[in-house]
Every structure is written in C-alpha cells, then in structure tokens.
Amino acid sequence: MPADTSIDRVMRTEAAPRKRRWWRRKSDIGALDYARRWWMKLFVGAMFAMLYAPIITLMLFSFNDSRRNIVWKGFTFKYYIKAWNNDGLIEAFANSLTIAVISTVLSTIIGAMVALTLWRFRFPGKPAYEGFMALPIVVPEICMGVAMLVFFARIGWPSGMPWPLNLSSITIAHVAFSFPFVAVVVRARMTGFNRELEEAAKDLGASEWQTFRDVILPFMKPGVVAGALLAFTLSLDDFVITFFTSGPDTVTFPVKVYSMVRFSVTPEVNAASTVLVVITVIATFFAMKFQAPVKGSAD
C-alpha cells in the first residue's frame, strides 16, 4: 500500500465529523471575507464610534436647553436663533463665506491651469516645479501661517481697508494653500484622458480652442468641480493660517468660534459648529460625487 499522501489525509479528516468551536461555526465565510467576520465588524464599529461620536454629540447638544451645556435639559432651537442674532458671529460667517467664494474661484482657475500645464507640456525643470507646486500641501499649517504673517507684515500689505478689501490678505493666503489641492485633483483626473480623443477632435477639423472647449474641458469638469469644492471647504474650515493673517476687524467663522469657546462652551457654539459641519459635509458629498469616475470615459 502506498504511503499516506497528504490528499488522503485531507480526505479522511473531511469525512470525519468535526468538532466545531463556536467562533468558527460560520464555515461559509471565505478566507479573505474579512468584512463578514464578527471581530472585524466590531472593530469597524468601534472605529466609527470613536470618530463620529464627538461630532454627533456636538450636534445633539446644540439643541440642549441648558446654558452650561453639560447635562441634557430638553430640546430647543433657542441657540440657533441666538447664534443667528449674534452680529459678531454672523459677520464672521459672512467674512468666511466671502473669503471662501473668492479664494475658491481664484484657486480653481490657478489650480486647473497648473494641472493642465503639467499634464500637457514637457519643459525643463518640470519635476522640480511639480514638487514645489505641491509644497503647501505638506508644509505644516503653522509654518504657513507664520510665513504669511511675516510676509504681509514685511511687504507692508495695507490693513484697515473697507470691506471686503480688508479680507484680501486672508484670501491670498487661502489661495496659496488651496490651489495645489485643486491642481492635484484635476491632474489626477487628466491622467485618465485618452489622448486619441484630442487627436480625433483635431482630425475632424476642430481648432486648438474648439478641441479644448468641446473635448478636454468636459472631461476635466468633474475634476475641476471636485477641486473647487475641496478648495471651498478648506478655506471655510481653515483656522491656523487665517488666525495668523486676520486682524481685529477681519474675524472669520472658525476664529470667532474659537474666541467664543474661550469664554464658555454654550450651545450657541455648538449650533454654529453644526451649521459649519453641515456645509462642509454637503460640499464634500458633492466633491466625491463629481470625482467618481464617469463610466466609459476612458474610451
């Protein structure tokens, strides 16, 4: 009789009734089906709880009918109304939105142009340029903030101008750190572009401009929209760089919330923060939606 091969052994163990441990009972879970294992579910659940519990608590407590805002005292919209009537807060909010809109428009245009340049052309020093362009993404914000402060002080950028010119320094700072994000997103989008589309347009008689308008731009659009929304949320949220570039009369929303918290954490702060979270989430949602690859676009 031949020696006991491993196949024989496997066959025999398979045939024998196996004593199953309780944690191994679900035998239909594949070897790589981690998502279906109970410990993975637990771990993922815990992760999400850790990440989002504070934010959800913040949102819930914005409806808390209590000044100290430590224990739940009942439901109210009072603090939303109070926040709405807080002129300082509203002014900060208006400042933030103005800065966000202007810096988004500027950084989207600059970022898209940078992305196009990097995608379309070969020129000496391109890798170096690409690296330097992306620096604001990696440079710590605090350094950027200090650098901006020193820069504006050094060149004597005028302050105390009438609104909205007094926001110019913050806006410039925001453009400086958000256009690389736009460039990166648009560039990533363009790598999926089939060069033959451009050639086909030219072959069919389109001029350089017609090709750009009719073929390249429509393909680029989702990337540009996603980049713009990214720039918008970055600008709206930014605290560190804004803090260094803002003056007493140019308080933005995050800076204002920070100063309010220094006195006391009232549900008013929660309400204001909730509004900001909601705006950010909506913008991010659309950014993701536009960034999703268009089916069949590679052809």
Number of residues forming the site for another protein (CB under 8 A): 22
Residue type for 191, please? Answer: T
Binding mask 138-177 for another protein (x = CB under 8 A): ----------------------------------------
Supply the minimum distance, in Å, between the C-beta of residue 222 and another protein.
10
Residue 25, token pair as written in the block:
């009972």
103, 235, 260 from 159: Cα distances, Å: 18, 20, 24
Contact 267, 66 (CB under 8 A): yes
Supply the minimum distance, in Å, between the C-beta of residue 225 and another protein.
14
Supply the minimum distance, in Å, between the C-beta of residue 203 and another protein.
5
Interacting positions 86-145 with another protein (CB under 8 A) = none
Interacting positions 218-257 with another protein (CB under 8 A) = 218-219
- Helix (H) / strand (E) element for 224: namely helix 217-237
Q: Which is nearer to another protein, 200 or 281 (CB)?
A: 200
Interacting positions 266-295 with another protein (CB under 8 A) = 294-295
Token pair 């020696």: residue: 3
The terminus-to-terminus CA distance of the chain in angstroms comes to 62
Supply the minimum distance, in Å, between the C-beta of residue 293 and another protein.
11
Q: Which is nearer to another protein, 219 or 258 (CB)?
A: 219
CB neighbours of residue 81 within 10 Å: 12
Alpha-carbon distance 215 to 206, whole Å? 10
Binding mask 184-223 for another protein (x = CB under 8 A): ----------x-xx-xxxxxxxxx--x---xx--xx----
Task: Name the phi and psi angles at 72, rounded to 5.
Answer: -70, 125
* CA proximity to 136, closest of 93, 185, 178, 79: 178
- Kindly state whether residue 296 participates in binding another protein, applying the rule CB under 8 A: yes
Supply the minimum distance, in Å, between the C-beta of residue 214 and another protein.
7
Token pair 């999926």: residue: 192
Q: Which is nearer to another protein, 144 or 215 (CB)?
A: 215
Alpha-carbon distance 90 to 167, whole Å? 16
Q: Which is nearer to another protein, 288 or 298 (CB)?
A: 298
28, 31, 33, 38 from 22: Cα distances, Å: 14, 17, 18, 12
Supply the minimum distance, in Å, between the C-beta of residue 215 and another protein.
6
Q: Which is nearer to another protein, 58 or 206 (CB)?
A: 206
- Applying CB under 8 A, the residues found at the interface with another protein are 194, 196-197, 199-207, 210, 214-215, 218-219, 294-297, 299
